[in-house]
Amino acid sequence: MIVLLHVLIAVSSLALVTYTFFKPTHKIFFVSYGSILLTVVSGLYLVIIEPTRMLHTCEVGLIYLVVAVTATVMARVRLAKLNQGNSL
C-alpha cells in the first residue's frame, strides 16, 4: 500500500513539474517543490522499511530527482525570461 502511494505521489509530482514548465508561476513552484519533497520523503521511508531493495530504489529515485529538478530549473529559467519580457 505504501509503495502504491509513493508511486502515485511520484507520478503526480512529475505531472505537476511538467505543468510548471509549460505554465510557470511563483505559486505553482511552491507546490512543485512540496511534491518533490514529499516524493523524496516517502522514498526514504520505503528504503528504511525495506532495505533489501535499496540499490534499485536508489537508482530509480536518482533518475526521478534528476528529471524533476532539471524540469524545475528549466521552468524557473522560463519564468525569468517571461518576466523579463513583460517588464520591457
Condensed to tens digits (0 to 9), the pLDDT of residues 31-52 reads 999 999 999 998 888 888 887 7
Per-residue pLDDT, averaged over 6-11, amounts to 91
Predicted TM-score (pTM) of this structure: 0.82
Pick the closest to residue 37 from 11, 65, 59, 18 (CA basis). Answer: 65
The pLDDT mean for the chain works out to 87
* Cell numbers given for 35: 511534491
Domain encompassing residue 52: 2-87
Number of domains in the chain: 1
pLDDT of residue 74: 93
Helix axes 2-22, 54-87, angle to 10 degrees: 20
Per-residue pLDDT, averaged over 22-38, amounts to 91
pLDDT of residue 66: 93
